[in-house]
Amino acid sequence: MIDDETGGNLEVCVPIGGDFTGDGEVYTRELEGGTMATTIHHGPYEQIAPACHNLTGWISEHGHVIAGPPREIYLNDPQTVVPEELFTRVEFPIRSEGGQAADRPRVVDLLTRWHKHDGMHTGGIDDAVDEYLVRLDAERGLSPNTIDAYRRDLGQFATMCHRLGVEHLDEVDRRTVRRFLAQLSTLRYSRRSVARKASAVRAFLGDAARRGLIHANPASGVPQPKRPATLPKSIPAATLDRFLNDLEGSDPVDLRDRALLEVLYGTGLRVSELAAMRMGDIDEVAFLRVRGKGDKDRAVPVGVKARNATERYLAAGRPAMARPESGDALWVGVRGGRLNPRGIRHIVRQRLGTFPHALRHSYATHLLEGGADLRSVQDLLGHTELATTQLYTAVTREHLRTTYERSHPRA
């Protein structure tokens, strides 16, 4: 029996066919938090990728979906055994997809390309960046868009390191980071972009330092560029009301666009969340289940106007455009394909002359102006930090001043 810190052990695993061999078999484990699909890899950690692929394939083939990031647990001490005798358990939390075969989940390639010598990282910077991105995906469950942003920013940093002759992570110093930031300013990047890229580099190097791959974070002593204090721009409620009411056509495209804009403004969804909507997402009690950033679920109420517009679209708009390849996508284009975020941005720009996030800003601003409390707006928007939502309070100060002068006897 091999114990681990979760309190589980191999004896409580239920084998899926055959006896346990310690290499490649798939098990399910019932823990307090749910069901885990588990496999044991026997051998060097660097060769763990095939076991991960086999595990995700089994999850898909048996009608389950991955419900969270994976865990890796050493079942014996990697410091005291030779790599060939190392046992590593890899497991994913899973949930059933109604007994039906689920879409193949995203395969997370956990094959590491770190090489250590005397505790320090001696591999190339490109390898270090790739491994960090894999870990962001697997451990933190960040959205693909966020991972892509990290990839671009750290890719720029790695390119500049190569030009300076800095090829290994342990060769990066404070001067390297300073020169990177200076280069961004020379290339006339906005202050917001410079601050974001600096934050990505600081997080990357800080993670390496915490894991003991470098002695210290060389970016910690470099002043962090300040983001400009720009406020979210919202559209006046009366203006939005007039624009939406003017969309009265009965053409399938008109019905789709009216429903799409009503839902976007009426729920404050991100454009990626709107594009991912499926048939039946709006349930019988008029709540929309949304999976947002970091695979976090939230429930958002849907107003009467958005529900009515969606019902008209589903009755007479979508059937006229849908094709077999539409699947269960709620929003479809004129050729029957699923509308992607780019297509939605085009519709918003064409119909309202703005961008989708402006409707999200308007949603939050109008809620606060109507008296909603900050915590409720944070939950509706899916913000992790309350400070992010507090940006909208500055937009509503004039409204609050007017309310105060109208309501307080000493105003």
More confident site: 404 or 244: 244
Residue 29 β-bridge partners: 36
Query: In this predicted model, what pLDDT tens digit does every residue of 238-289 receive, in sequence order?
Result: 899 999 988 888 899 999 999 999 999 999 999 989 998 988 887 665 788 8
Three-class secondary structure assignment of 383-400: CCCHHHHHHHHHHCHHHH
More confident site: 46 or 37: 37
pLDDT confidence tier of residue 106, bands split at 50, 70 and 90:
very low
**Out of 67-76, 238-247, 336-345, least confident range:** 67-76
- Of 290, 306, 286, 287, nearest in space to 298 by CA: 290
Among 27, 313, 363, 392, the active-site one is 392
Residue 124 β-bridge partners: 168
Q: How far is CA 258 from CA 19, 243, 250, in A?
A: 58, 10, 10
Q: Is the pLDDT of residue 10 over 90?
A: no
Residues 74-102 have a mean pLDDT of 64
Q: Is the pLDDT of residue 88 over 60?
A: yes
pLDDT confidence tier of residue 122, bands split at 50, 70 and 90:
very low
Among 95, 305, 357, 399, the active-site one is 357
Half-sphere exposure of 137 (CA within 13 A, CB side): 18
What are the phi and psi torsion angles at 65 (to 5°)? Answer: -125, 155
Say whether domain 237-405 belongs to CATH 1.10.150.20.
Answer: no
Among 121, 360, 361, 366, the active-site one is 360
Among 71, 135, 178, 293, the active-site one is 293
Specify whether 392 is catalytic.
Answer: yes
In the prediction, which pLDDT does 23 show?
46
Q: Is the pLDDT of residue 292 over 80?
A: no
Specify whether 399 is catalytic.
Answer: no
- Of 86, 84, 105, nearest in space to 94 by CA: 105
Specify whether 121 is catalytic.
Answer: no
Specify whether 318 is catalytic.
Answer: no
Specify whether 357 is catalytic.
Answer: yes
Distance of alpha carbon 107 from alpha carbon 137, whole angstroms: 10
> Going by C-beta distance under 8 Å and a sequence separation of 6 or more, which residues neighbour residue 279?
314, 328, 329, 330
Distance of alpha carbon 142 from alpha carbon 292, whole angstroms: 10
Among 89, 270, 318, 366, the active-site one is 270
Residue-range domain boundaries for the chain: 1-112, 237-405
Specify whether 401 is catalytic.
Answer: no
Half-sphere exposure of 99 (CA within 13 A, CB side): 0
In the prediction, which pLDDT does 259 show?
94
pTM: 0.54
The DSSP result for 8-68, as a single string, is -BGGG-EESSS---SSS-EEEEEETTEEEEEEEEES-GGG-HHHHHHHHHHHHHTTEEE-S
Q: Which stretch, 188-192, 283-287, 331-335, has highest mean pLDDT?
A: 331-335
pLDDT confidence tier of residue 385, bands split at 50, 70 and 90:
confident
